Structure formats: structure tokens, C-alpha cells
Amino acid sequence: MARAAVLQFPGVNCEYETVRVLEAVGVEARIVRFNEPAGVLGEFDAYVLPGGFAFQDRIRAGAVAAKLPAVGRIAAEAEGGKPVLGICNGAQILVEAGLVPGLAPGRVEMALAPNRAPRRQGYLCQWVRVRAGDGPGRAIWASTADREAAVPLPIAHGEGRFVTADPDVSACIQMEGLALFRYVDASGAAAESYPDDPNGALFQTAGMTNRAGNVLALMPHPERAAWLREVPLDWPGPWGDRRRAAVGSFGTLEGAGPGRALFESLARHLGARHPEEAAR
């Protein structure tokens, strides 16, 4: 059975729901504390750095956790091709550790800067739409995603704006399709302004991969949208219609939500068998 480690740094707060969704797609998941011997991490097939506030975001979000031996070990495993997913604060850690975009190994080439939107400052908590592109990470993270679909996901961050001060890095990201997930409007077109584009990120990036595509830094929280019941009742479009139609039907509400596809894609890449299939 495919096994994933969900890293628990002091201050993360999404590790349990991350484990739950991994298990729902047939991946055995274990929470690994940041100070366990880093060698333990070698036993796993994939790694998830969950959301939260590692080390209380002191200095900068992700800055302290990025220096830990556990992240160094994950960097080494990523070089070997194992998938690594950083969600929100986990994405900030991956960027601060130089794993994303990872054009020059070991070099930090980006930052997740404070959100920038007209007349808004600070922490932002809302639902947005993202669409998967055709970058190198598609086979791992979006193989089950509809190319045209605008997938609703929640965001909750103060520093989610992918930026780089290096024009060569920016050019590479665009040329190689590393901005795998981008914020879009209801029609699926690139988001042009707030609230479709919630933070002013470079290329409206919601999720950026490395060149190999096996490391993904994703600002929205797919684990918070992994069940249909988690979709807001007033959300417009097909997912909202499904959610409203499911009112009163417990079984339907316990079905997959829009964020599940990313984990299903990962599970497929890892060769995991869906729990229902395994039960048969």
C-alpha cells in the first residue's frame, strides 16, 4: 500500500484532515513529527506539508521550518522523484526551502509575499476557483482533473502571492508551465482582478511545481473541500448545484468534493487502490 507522511511542525493545524483525505483515496498516511529522526521519512512514498502556522510564522511564514533537517530529508527524497505536496503554510515552507520552483537546486528563487488586492490587507479567507494547466506536474497532481473545469477551493492565507525578483526565473516558470494551478473566473478564464484573483500572484498562480513536477506548492486547501458537504450552500455553478441537491441526503453529502481530485490523482500516481476497490 502506498504510504504518505504528513509532516507536523509546531503550529500546523490541518494535519488530521489531510490524513483523512489521503486515507479516503487509498493512501496510508501517518503524521510524522518534525523532530522525529529524519531517517524515518525514507520509509514513505510521498510527503504532505499541511497548512497552519509552523513556528507561528515567526520571521516569515515558512522561514524557520524550511531550515529543519526533516525538510532537508524531504528535499533529498524529492530529488529522487517522490511526490511532495505543500498546502498553504506547507507551500510557504517549500518555497522558502527552494524546492519550488527549484530551477537551481538548493537556491531560493521565490517568495510568498503578503496578499495584494485593492483596499485589502492581511489575511484572506474565502472560496476561489482554480484550473489545472498542462505543466510537468499534471500527471501527478491533476491527471483526474477536467481541463476546462474551474474547481472551487477555499483559501486562507495572508502571504499567498507567488513572486520572484529574478526575471529569468519568471520566464522559466511561464515557458515550462510550472504555474500548474491558476486562479480563474467563473467562466474558467484567467482571473483578472479581485476577488477571482485573491492575492495578485505572478501569473495568477495558485499552485506552482518544480521542473520535474513532483513537488507542488499549493496555496488553496483541497483537503478542506474533499467532501461535498464542505462546499458552501450558496456557491454558484455545478458544484453548488450538486451541494444544494444533496441537502438531506447523507450518503451524497459524504461523496467527493472538488478538492478530492488532486489526492485521487496522487493516489493513482502512487499506484494506490481506491478503498472501495480494495474492499472488493
Partner 1 sequence: MSAVLLTRLKITDLAAWTALEAGRRLLPPEHALIRLAREELYLFEPAEGFAAEAFEGPLERAIESSNFFVNPNKEAYRFLTSSEKGAALRPPEGAQGILARPRDDTRDGELWTRLEREHPLEGLGAIRRARLWWIWTRGPGGGPAFEACYAALGRVTGRASGLLVNPHAEADLAFGNSVPWRRVEEFLTHPAPGLEDAA
Query: 29 or 71: whose CB is closer to partner 1?
Result: 71
Question: Which of 39, 80, 165, 248 contacts partner 1 by CB under 8 A?
Answer: 165
Q: Which of 164, 199, 210, 265 binds partner 1 (CB under 8 A)?
A: 164
Cβ neighbours of residue 251 closer than 8 Å, sequence gap 6 or more: none
Min dist CB 119 to partner 1, Å, is 8
**CA 6, CA 14: separation in Å to the nearest integer?**
10
Tell me which residues are annotated as active site.
Answer: 88, 221, 223
List the one residue from 3, 72, 176, 195 that touches partner 1 (CB under 8 A): 72
CB of 99 to partner 1, least distance (A): 8
- Residue 56 interacts with partner 1 (CB under 8 A): yes or no: yes
Among the listed residues 22, 48, 75, 246, the single contact to partner 1 using CB under 8 A: 75
Q: For residue 240, what is its C-alpha cell?
A: 453548488
Quick one: which segment of 13-21, 77-85, 164-172, 205-213 binds partner 1 (CB under 8 A)? 164-172
Binding to partner 1 (CB under 8 A) within 98-117 occurs at 98, 106-114, 116
230-269 positions binding partner 1, by CB under 8 A:
none
Of 1, 43, 76, 121, the residue at the interface with partner 1 (CB under 8 A) is: 121
Among 21, 24, 49, 66, binds partner 1 (CB under 8 A): 66
Task: Classify the phi-psi angles of 150: left when phi > 0, otherwise alpha if psi is within -120 to 50, otherwise beta.
Answer: beta
Concatenated DSSP letters of 118-144:
TTB-S-EEEEEEEEE-SSTTHHHHSTT
All cell numbers assigned to 212? 520535474
Q: Give the largest Cα separation in the chain, rounded.
A: 54
Which residue in the set 20, 67, 147, 244 belongs to the binding site for partner 1 (CB under 8 A)? 67
Q: For residue 77, give the DSSP letter.
A: H
Binding residue for partner 1 (CB under 8 A) from 134, 146, 166, 192?
166
Q: Measured from the CB of residue 115, what is the shortest distance to partner 1 in angstroms? A: 11
Read off the C-alpha cell for 34. 518534525
Q: Which residues pair with 155 in a beta bridge?
A: 126
* Whole-angstrom distance, CA of residue 82 vs CA of residue 44: 9
For residues 270 and 28, the answer to whether their CB atoms sit within 8 Å is no
Q: How many residues bind partner 1 (CB under 8 A)?
A: 30
Q: Please state, in angstroms and rounded to a whole number, the distance separating the CA atoms of residues 35 and 279.
A: 35
Gap between the Cα atoms of 213 and 139, Å rounded: 8
Interaction between residue 63 and partner 1 (CB under 8 A): yes
For partner 1, which is the closer residue by CB, 72 or 195?
72
Which C-beta is closer to partner 1: that of 59 or that of 186? Answer: 59
Under the binding rule (CB under 8 A), the answer on residue 71 touching partner 1 is: yes
Strand order in the sheet with 181-183: 28-33, 3-8, 46-49, 84-87, 215-218, 205-209, 181-183, 124-132, 151-157
Interface contacts to partner 1, rule CB under 8 A: 55-56, 58-60, 63-64, 66-67, 71-72, 75, 96-98, 106-114, 116, 121, 163-166
